[in-house]
Amino acid sequence: METKNTPVSELEQDILKVLVTEEEIKTRVAELGAEIHERFAGRNPLFVMVLKGAFIFMADLIRETGLRSEVEFIAVSSYENATESSGRVKIKYDIQQDITGRDLVIVEDILDSGNTLAFLKRYFLTKGAQSITIVTLLDKPSRREKSIQADFVGFTVPNEFVVGYGLDYAQRYRNIPYIGVLKPEVYGS
């Protein structure tokens, strides 16, 4: 493989293997955008992005939907720099508008244990949302602890910790343009 002499190549030295390529992501995000367009045509959904991991996916996805829509952001945490969910979800930054009667589209990077999305779904319904639609770039069904499913899934991935296209390990590797698995030695350092 030809080595690109770009800033990303330094980060890429820590990648063991690529699970989903840049091209595959682009194609799938366009498909999801079209499907979501169909689902919400003529309505005014509120896209709620779960910070920080979904930021690149969200940016690409909403441009592909071509919908008249709005965006909000919410930040939660349950990981605290580990690779396993602690099961407790805390809101660190909340959405800024009344969602009574709104159709919400929650955009997540990955559905893993399900703790985050189970919590958010309940939270938004309590706040008066009319409907909740869940879109996740990645799904790791083998890890589920809560019975929750996404309405739209980009890719189903095996039980491996992944980074890139917004997803981090200890806040790093979000700017790798594809989904990959880190070399084991990276976790030790």
Binding-site ranges for ligand IMP (CB under 6 A): 50, 53, 78-79, 85, 108-116, 161-163, 167
Give helix then strand counts, H and E, for the chain: 5, 9
CA atoms within 13 A on the CB side of 90: 6
48, 101 contact by CB (below 8 A): no
105, 135 contact by CB (below 8 A): yes
Q: Give the binding range for Mg ion (CB under 5 A) out of 30-38, 53-61, 94-102, 123-131.
A: 53-61
CB of 140 to ligand IMP, least distance (A): 6
> Which residue, among 54, 66, 33, 77, has the nearest Cα to 136 in the 3D structure?
54
Closer residue to ligand IMP, CB minimum distance, 37 or 144: 144
CA distance 165 to 176: 6
22, 12 contact by CB (below 8 A): no
CA distance 98 to 80: 29
Active site residue 112: yes
78 is in the binding site of which of ligand IMP, Mg ion, none (Cβ under 5 to 8 A by kind)?
ligand IMP
CB of 129 to ligand IMP, least distance (A): 19
Q: Give the binding range for Mg ion (CB under 5 A) out of 36-44, 50-58, 145-153, 156-164.
A: 50-58
Q: Give the binding range for Mg ion (CB under 5 A) out of 52-60, 112-120, 131-139, 150-158.
A: 52-60
What are the tokens at 120?
């958010």
Instruction: Name which of residues 71 to 100 contact Mg ion (CB under 5 A).
Output: none
Chosen residue from 33, 46, 49, 53 binding Mg ion by CB under 5 A: 53
Q: Which of 94, 112, 139, 151 is catalytic?
A: 112
Q: What residues are annotated to the active site?
A: 112
